[in-house]
Structure 1
Amino acid sequence: MTLADPNKVDPIHQFQITDIVSFGDGGPAITNSALFMVLTVGLIGAYLLLSTQRRSIIPNRAQLVSEMMYEFVSKMVTDSAGAEGKKFFPFVFSLFMFVLVANMFGMVPFFFTVTSHIVVTFALAMLVFIVVIAYGFYRNGPRFLKLFVPSGVPGYILPLVAVIEVISFLSRPISLSVRLFANILAGHITLKVFAGFVVSMGGLGFLGWLGALLPLALTVGITALEFLVAALQAYVFALLTSMYINDAIHPSH
């Protein structure tokens, strides 16, 4: 997210991918998107290592927060996918932390929001999709296809229902990725627009600053809401992943 800049009034400017280090014309480059993905993974790894390296009976704040995160995601996975789903805890926890930290990075002025790009969220969603299909066939074999044949459906409408189930299953990566991407993108654009109003109206003098009080209040309110959305979208992504994993473990309706 980039706060209002009088020289860059375009609210889409904050999502542009730019080269930071380029290795020749047309060659590989380190972009702002790649940099913040690396920073996201690095921060998560460093925090978890430092907070769990010296576990004590009376936990410090960092250890307490990490343990709460572990318990929260562990309970989510168990409730959604059962006891067998706990083997996927590292996978779901990694996705949850990546989306959460990436979203929070995006709330820092002049930082880059990697989850505002559909290519990133779709890659995460496809990873979930591939894991679900691979484990579904690994565990159940052809019985995994029961996921598309609900029990108790009359035979004369079963082909139609099966087609609907297949389409619904194939649309999961799209819905999973678009939900995260659209929420982050829309929120940041809205925040940039209202922040731009504050700067633009402030240039009109005293009366302009009086008129800027309303968009300023809205900017503060939207900022608070965006922090909530950033955390909520990470939770929703992890929860849906857990539910999809449950389908791989228990394909029967």
Structure 2
Amino acid sequence: MLGKLLKYELKASGRTFIPLYIAILVVAVFNGIFINTDIFQIQGIGILVLTSLFMALGVLTIVVTIQRFRKNLLGDEGYLMFTLPVSTSSLILSKCITALIYAVLSFIVAMFTFGMLMLFSASGIHLPEFLDFFNTVFTKGSEYFLDVLLFLVTMLISYSSFILLLYTSISMGQLPRFNKHRNIVAFVSFIAINIVISSIGNAIERILPHKDTNMIYHFYQSPHFALAMLGSIAVVVILFFATKYILDKKLNLE
């Protein structure tokens, strides 16, 4: 059933993101065509439009994450969603995984766009130089493959924590006692939970022994990095079950 929920969520969110991705790529191609010309007005307009689209993408990524959770589970649609033969965990996971997928797609679109612009602007660079550049990148990439992989995993865990923090905060604002101040309570909860997480993290950091890190060349060689990753996973788990508990035991759709 989780697969069906994901399919529904991907389609619903895609109505916002896919047209924006297409617009960004089209404008990027347009910029690439005129990037080596002397028509500075068109170049300026193209860069302005592309910058505006990226800003819109960043804002919409957060807005859609909030709206899909709030309207679909805590609004009028919630009466239907919670009558489906699925667990609350599946509902939360479908929202969270979809938000992660589109965050990754947004990153890929951004990297592809910048790469395309670099390719268009590199008219004076010849093929051997390009091949040498990519050979260097792949050589370094293979040497630091595990570091890159751990970095990407850490980014996914951190963003998952951010998504679930939004969900927990919004759910806390939905508690019956806060009916008249839901948005304010959600915002205050977001700030308060952030402060608590940061305070605990700083306290643990002060307790840990500080060893010489000059000889550490990889992430996996650092015990602090491993502990930080475990802490991030713990935060994700706690926020997930906090959201689940509120939706299971304290849900108020009025």
Q: Identify the TM-score tier after normalising by the shorter chain.
A: 0.3 to 0.5
Q: Which structure ranks higher in relative contact order (CA pairs < 8 Å, sequence separation ≥ 6)?
A: 1
For normalisation by structure 2, the TM-score amounts to 0.32
Higher normalized helix content (fraction of residues): 2
